[in-house]
Structures are given as C-alpha cells and as structure tokens.
Amino acid sequence: MSVSLQDVQTALERIKSYVHRTPLERHQSLNDLSGAELWFKSENKQKCGAFKARGAHHALTHLTPEQLARGVATHSSGNHGAALALAARRFGAQAFVVMPSNAPAPKRQATLAYGATVIDCEATLVAREAALKACVERTGAVFVPPYDHPDIIAGQGTLALEMLEQNPNLNAILVPVGGGGMLAGVSLAVKALRPDIKVIGVEPLGADDAKRSFLTGQHVRQHQPDTIADGLRTTLGTLNFALIRDYTDDIVTVTDAQIIAAMKVFMARAKALVEPSGIVGLAAVMAEPSRFAKQQVGIVISGGNVDLEHPVWL
C-alpha cells in the first residue's frame, strides 16, 4: 500500500464539507521572540480540537452502508477516538473506542459526548491492540486505524494543501510526529508540489522512535515512551515510516521542559489553548532559533485539547 498526491487531493474534496479549513495564523510577538516569521496552522481550532478529524472523516467516506451498519472501532489515547466518534455520528454508525487508562480526561469525555462506547485498557500498545481485537470480534465493527492506513494518511495530508495555498512562500514546515500519519501525509504532499520546502518532524525526546528510525533506516518497533505529550507516545506506523523515510527532510526532538515553555509562551501570546503534542514545532524553533532565523516557517498546531484541571506544568 502507498499514498500519492492524487490521494491527498481527492481526500480534500471528500472531507471539505465535514471539517474546517483551519486558519494559518501569525503572531508578531512570537516572530519577535523567535527571529523567524512563524505561520501556525491552527488545527487546535479543527472539529474535535485536533487534526484527527481529517483522517477519521476521510476513512468513513470509503465505507459502504453495510460496513457502517456494523459500526466502527479503534484504539486511541484521545484525539483520534473523539474524531472517529464524531465522524461515526455524522455517518449514522456506532463507534467503539479502546482508550488507555492514562488518556486525558477531556479527550475521554469528548469521545463519550459524541456517542462512542469507550473500552478501558492498560496503557500499553499490546493491551490496546488486544482489547481492540476482542471488541471487533464481539461486535463485528470495522477497524479504523488511528494512523497507519492510506485513508488516514491522505486525510491528514490535506492540511498541507491548505497551508501551501494560504502561504506559498514557506521555507519549512514543522510537523508533530507520533504514529506518523500526519507527517507522512504532509511530507508526500509538500514534496510533490514544492520540493524546495523543508519538512521536519518533531517529537519528544522521551518518545524518539521516529527519529531513531529515520536516522538508522531501520523501523524501531520497541518503544517505551516517557513524555507529557500523550498524543505522541504512539509507536511509528509501518507505512508511515516508509513514506517519512522517502519524503521527510529531518526529525528533531524536544524535551518536556521545552514543550512546557512553548505551551506557556504560545498561550500567553496567541491567546489560544494548545496541548503538549500540538506545540512541539514551536518548541523546536525556540530550542534552535538560529536554524530558522529569518525564514518563513509553517508550524502545525495539531491539537488544543488541554486538561485544565491538571496542567502539565504542575
């Protein structure tokens, strides 16, 4: 299986009536702070508060009425589960979402609010996959992967098409990477249309399987993440790794302390909520400002679902 630019372009047509065309925003105070011209793709203002709405809705547009009648199922630490629940409600399907015990409360609550049945499991990939398998066998629901599938990758890549239209003068685009669906989709779309633009993945130092895979050329599958960025703890997907290896220019890491600092400055200056996973691009610019100085840098703010009752810096 693979994904092409045509797949991403078709995905945008299929989902545009279901999701927002999110703004590409700049904040002068953050430009002054960084020494670069930063353009934030505000997926924290997307349906469900995260980019995951793109892939989830796109995946469901490919299901038949018979498949939708069986329901859909997935495993998720939060944003994909909520997005699938919303998409399922719109398509008249029941959603089943396996969620780890350490999933943030707001993401769990949103998933329930959209009408999904939430199935709890231990906070390991093995437990998530086992619980999902049992759910699918019991209900007959169709598995909609959170990241490692062509429909998901093409859906997530649609945000890159919007960014290139909103500002064709970008020099680089920074993209959070966990499972890798968004980075894979963005990279292949950007390189097909504008190979001169650098596409850089950003992940937490405590969950650096994507960087290790990228540097060695060998897919790292043993992964024990330790980071506050819950949306980036997922192991890099197989198809995603192949696309990232072929189309991404670099992957950098940031520490949890750098993520927290970026969250605080963004929320103070931009007056908008952003979750730890969503702000890693700004954290990378703040950590290495000389690399991006005087450039026009696109930063994907992938989500804004923050647990306000338990801020990560406390």
Asked if residues 35 and 289 have their Cβ atoms less than 8 Å apart, the reply is yes
Which residues partner with 117 through β-bridges? 96
Query: Which of 52, 191, 198, 211 is an active site residue?
Result: 52
- Within a 10 A sphere around the Cβ of 312, how many other Cβ atoms? 17
Query: Which of 34, 77, 277, 302 is an active site residue?
Result: 77
Cα→Cα distances 90→51, 61, 85, 263, 272, Å = 17, 11, 9, 32, 27
- In angstroms, the CA 121 to CA 272 distance is 32
- In angstroms, the CA 77 to CA 80 distance is 8
Q: Is 77 a catalytic residue?
A: yes
Q: Is 52 a catalytic residue?
A: yes
Q: What is the DSSP-derived secondary structure letter of residue 309?
A: T
Asked if residues 169 and 296 have their Cβ atoms less than 8 Å apart, the reply is yes
Token digits of residue 90? 């719109």
- In angstroms, the CA 269 to CA 17 distance is 31
- In angstroms, the CA 183 to CA 236 distance is 11
78: left (phi over 0), alpha (psi -120 to 50) or beta: left
Active-site positions?
52, 77
